[in-house]
Amino acid sequence: MFAGNLGEAQSLETIIQAAAWIKEHGEDVVWVLIGDGRRLAWMKSEVKCLGLEKQIHFLGCRPMEAMPRYFSLADVLLVTLRPDPIFSRTIPSKVQSYLACGRPIVAALDGEGARIVHDSAAGVVVGAGDADALAKAVISLKAMSADEREQMGQRGRAYFESNFESEMLISQLEGWMEEMVEEGLCAS
């Protein structure tokens, strides 16, 4: 499942190429996309042109409060970005949301977002824009047992709680500020 903006930055062609590769290799994988964006019409056209209607399903926009339920129903959550130095410096917000939901992640991105998925051991990371590697990663996740995927998701949840939970972040910020005051780097 992919949730979010369907725009230029998301490297949607990577998803389509990976889905086509998987279909061509006789694997049965369903890709569910939730969201909207400037490239939705293009993507739907490509899916139809390539005969991927049974592989890729579009659910449209859904309310934000419903997303945890959708995430919980997914076997794996997908995040993609196109290869770009700017995107390498950012952490897509969906990475944090995916980690919080405790589902395994397959990520086709570079930089900080990729590092977090890798360091959390919550999924599989391939390079941004690498459709063949994405397809192979999806197949490897499909071949895992449900228990192995569940463990990945739980590691992601634990990583989220240690690194992104808002109370933890506020506490960490307060600690840094207190250290700075003690060191005379801030006015008290």
**Kind plus residue range of the DSSP H or E element containing 31:** strand 31-34
> 60: Cβ–Cβ under 8 A, 6 or more apart, which residues?
34, 35, 36
Average pLDDT over the chain reads: 91
What is the distance between the terminal CA atoms of the chain, rounded to a whole angstrom? 48
User: Over the stretch 99-127, which tens digit does the pLDDT of each residue have?
Assistant: 999 999 999 999 999 999 999 999 999 99
CB atoms within 10 A of CB 39: 19
Q: Which domains does the chain have, with CATH numbers?
A: 2-182 (3.40.50.2000)
- Condensed to tens digits (0 to 9), the pLDDT of residues 30-41 reads 999 999 999 999
The pLDDT of residue 178: 60
pLDDT band at residue 188 under the 50/70/90 scheme: very low
**Location of structure tokens 């590691």:** 155
Question: Who has greater pLDDT, 64 or 166?
Answer: 64
Contact 112, 176 (CB under 8 A): no
CA atoms of 125 and 109, how far apart (whole Å):
7
Mean pLDDT of 19-39: 96
Q: Examine the pLDDT at 171 and tell me if it is beyond 80.
A: no
Q: Per-residue pLDDT averaged across 12-19, rounded?
A: 98
Q: What's residue 98's pLDDT?
A: 94
| β-pair partners for 125 | 107
**Could you tell me the two tokens for 59?**
């659910």
Per-residue pLDDT tens digits for 70-101: 999 999 999 999 999 988 988 898 999 999 99
